[in-house]
Amino acid sequence: MATSEDVHSSYDEPIGTGGNREDLSDILWDISPTETPGIQALGKGKATAVYHEHLTDALEAAADNQNVEGSDASLVKAASRIRMGNYTQIFRKNASVSGTQEKVLKGGGIKSEMAYQTGRRMKAIKRDAEYNVFGRNNAKAAGTDLTAREMGSFSAYMGDETALLHFLAVATVLVMVLLLLATAAMYPRLVRVVH
């Protein structure tokens, strides 16, 4: 099909007519994975110092347990609690936006570029924390005036048999709870979850 030389078409844009608008969606699709299942499973706590400690306790191993009626109780010394700790680590991602960029109209439904960039940095820090806990082998370090404090990663505690057993006990309970919740979601009439 032939076209006239004097007709402006959409193929001449943006110079041809200079007036056609872009078709830019007000939805911004973030394609970066931001799920952090390990950090979410650990939950939150509040550190009030740069070295955060907690106590762990474990039941003795399960065993046969039957007793004759009326027999005397045998005394068993309770196992000692174990004090464990890790250093807090400073995570930082900086955002900088010019005043002009903050004021101009933006696509993707973004109202404030600074708020958007700050939110992105927070997601990135969460991923960095997940990586530092589960993605590498790193021993905890107190730091100095010249070196940063570093939290110990999960794999650094793997060599400590007691710490590993405590972690596995907590992880086992967590897996059981997750399985229960998954079962409740799939079969709501079979399992009743009480909050």
175 shares its domain with 140: no
In terms of pTM, does the model score above 0.75?
no
- Residue-number span of the structural domain to which 105 is assigned: 23-58+80-155
Q: How far apart are CA 151 and CA 91, in angstroms?
A: 11
The 10 Å CB-count burial string (b at 16+, else e) for 34-62 is eebeebeebeeeeeeeeeeeeeeeeeeee
Q: Are 143 and 150 in contact (CB under 8 A)?
A: yes
128 shares its domain with 84: yes
Please report whether residue 120 resides in a domain.
yes
The 10 Å CB-count burial string (b at 16+, else e) for 92-124 is eeeeeeeeeeeeeebeeeeeebeebbeeeeeee
119 shares its domain with 184: no
Task: For residue 86, list its beta bridge partners.
Answer: 52
Please report whether residue 69 resides in a domain.
no
126 shares its domain with 51: yes
What does each of the 195 residues of the chain score in pLDDT, given as a tens digit? 665 566 545 555 555 555 566 777 777 777 777 778 877 777 777 788 889 888 888 888 888 989 999 999 888 888 888 888 889 899 999 888 898 888 888 888 888 888 888 988 888 888 898 888 888 888 899 999 999 999 888 878 776 656 666 666 655 655 666 666 666 665 555 545 554
Please report whether residue 180 resides in a domain.
yes
150 shares its domain with 193: no
19 residue type, one letter? G
Domain count, the chain: 2
102 shares its domain with 151: yes
143 shares its domain with 186: no
105 shares its domain with 121: yes
pLDDT for residue 160: 60
Q: Is 3 helix (H, G, I), strand (E, B) or coil?
A: coil
35 shares its domain with 122: yes
44 shares its domain with 132: yes
